[in-house]
Copies of this chain bind each other. A is one copy, B any other.
Amino acid sequence: MPTMSTLLWTKCWLLLVAFSWGHVPPSRGHVPPSRGYLPPSRGHLPPSRGHLPPHDQVARVARFIAHRCDWTSMATISSHKPVVGQPFSNVFSVSDGPWGSGSGSGVPYMYLTRMEISVQDLEVSPQASLSMSLAQTGYCRQHGIDPQSPLCAHIILSGSVLEVNGTEAEFAKKALFSRHPEMMDWPSDHNWFFAKFNITQVWVLDYFGGVKTVSPDEYFQASPNRKHH
């Protein structure tokens, strides 16, 4: 798509690769392990990370999933030909807080560049939707639950993406870089910025009986790790 973006991204990565790893861009299967992605199944994940709350404690389930997932599929309204006005699904890393810092903030933070195709969509139409599923973790697989089953708990967040600054950007940086250390090395002239997903509605599919909704207030008041009465 954008030629400038293409050139810059290529150039920067080539330079980065040349400097950091002393050779041409990594071939498939030889991606250098330094500062690699630290997925929940290893690395920084504390041994006790809690359990999926009971399905009827819907807000807690939502907070659990939001903290547990480190990437999301974001739906936007496309601003790009030939699909202008059509929905567009894309993949982004997220973090609502560092591992080991408790239960997370519930706010999905993102690290974005305006060179990115979906971020360009957001500049035209800021409304978006994030889906996160325990299918992304080992949970559904381990329990033999199909990704489309309501028992393979997943959430959908409606809202919009907002740039954050100041102390909130500091928190976003800590939340993201601790779980996605590779971000520290992403090409600086892409003008990365920190953003948050500003939630207006939470949809939860965690059991039989159809989708349930949770208000932002209920969502933020809930704690995935402690019981509420």
Interface residue ranges, A against B (CB under 8 Å) = 1-2, 5-6, 9-10, 13-14, 25-26, 28-29, 31-33, 36-37, 39, 41, 51-52, 54-55, 70-78, 82-83, 86-93, 111, 115, 117, 127-131, 133, 135-136, 140-141, 143-152, 154, 156, 158, 180, 182-183, 200-201, 203, 205, 208-211, 213
Contacts and interface: CB of A to CB of B under 8 A. Distances in A.
Contacts of A51: 28-29
A180 B145 CA distance: 9
Contacts of A111: 148
B55 A28 contact: yes
A91 B141 contact: no
A147 B93 contact: yes
Contacts of A135: 71, 91, 136
Contact of A136 (B70, B136, B209): B136
B151 A31 contact: yes
A211 B37 contact: no
Nearest to A186: B149
Contact of A211 (B10, B32, B117, B140): B117
Nearest to A76: B87
Nearest to A115: B210
A77 to B, nearest CB: 6
